[in-house]
């Protein structure tokens, strides 16, 4: 039983990366979608220009998902028999996943708020949708990317298996 503790920790890290980054994306998407719904109720012709701003917060969930898949591939979960790892290695994997999890949670929500601001601005000044609306929301993305990169680089450095 204790020999499986490392694998349990590692898979918990993969799950946390997926769940927290996914929650950030979901909340961010809902914030942006509510703003877009309000604008579109009066100006349905703005649908195309608003779609990108609504979708921007979804990337955080993708980053968490990719890290979780990478963990499962690294541990040979998908391809066959999982590799044996120590509890310490499992905790290293879990800790590595926290960067994308927390960055995705926070930046997804904040990007949704930034997108909502851009959407509201686009209702009054459609020519500013890409210049300011998308650009400002995309700036928040940088921190989600940093969390993803840190998780990925940490996972690269963890040796598992024989």
Q: What is the DSSP string of 143-161?
A: HHHHHHHHHHHHHHT----
pLDDT exceeds cutoff 80 at 2? no
The pair of three-digit structure tokens given for residue 35, joined into one six-digit string: 């703003």
Q: Are 90 and 53 in contact (CB under 8 A)?
A: no
Condensed to tens digits (0 to 9), the pLDDT of residues 70-113 reads 999 999 998 888 888 999 999 999 999 999 999 999 999 999 99
Question: Mean pLDDT, to the nearest integer, of 28-53?
Answer: 85
pLDDT of residue 58: 93
d(CA 47, CA 36): 8
Using CA atoms, how far residue 93 sits from 5, 35, 162, in Å, is 12, 38, 17
The pair of three-digit structure tokens given for residue 129, joined into one six-digit string: 């949708």
**What does pLDDT average to over the chain?**
90
CA dihedral over 78, 87, 157, 144, signed as positive or negative: positive
CA dihedral over 58, 63, 68, 72, signed as positive or negative: positive
d(CA 118, CA 12): 36
Condensed to tens digits (0 to 9), the pLDDT of residues 129-154 reads 667 778 888 899 999 999 999 999 99
Domains located in the chain, CATH noted: 2-156 (1.20.120.610)
Q: Are 87 and 8 in contact (CB under 8 A)?
A: no
């Amino acid at each position: 039983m204790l020999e499986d503790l490392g694998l349990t920790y590692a898979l918990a890290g993969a799950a946390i990366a997926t769940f927290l980054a996914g929650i950030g994306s979901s909340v961010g998407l809902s914030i942006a979608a509510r703003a877009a719904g309000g604008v579109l109720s009066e100006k349905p012709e703005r649908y195309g220009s608003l779609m990108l701003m609504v979708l921007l917060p979804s990337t955080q969930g993708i980053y968490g998902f990719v890290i979780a898949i990478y963990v499962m591939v690294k541990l040979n979960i998908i391809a066959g028999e999982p590799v044996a790892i120590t509890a310490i290695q499992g905790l290293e994997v879990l800790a590595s996943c926290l960067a994308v999890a927390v960055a995705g949670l926070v930046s997804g929500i904040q990007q949704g708020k930034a997108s909502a601001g851009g959407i509201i601005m686009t209702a009054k000044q459609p020519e500013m949708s890409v210049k300011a609306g998308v650009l400002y929301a995309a700036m928040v993305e940088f921190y989600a990317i940093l969390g993803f990169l840190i998780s990925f680089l940490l996972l690269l450095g963890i040796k598992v298996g024989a």
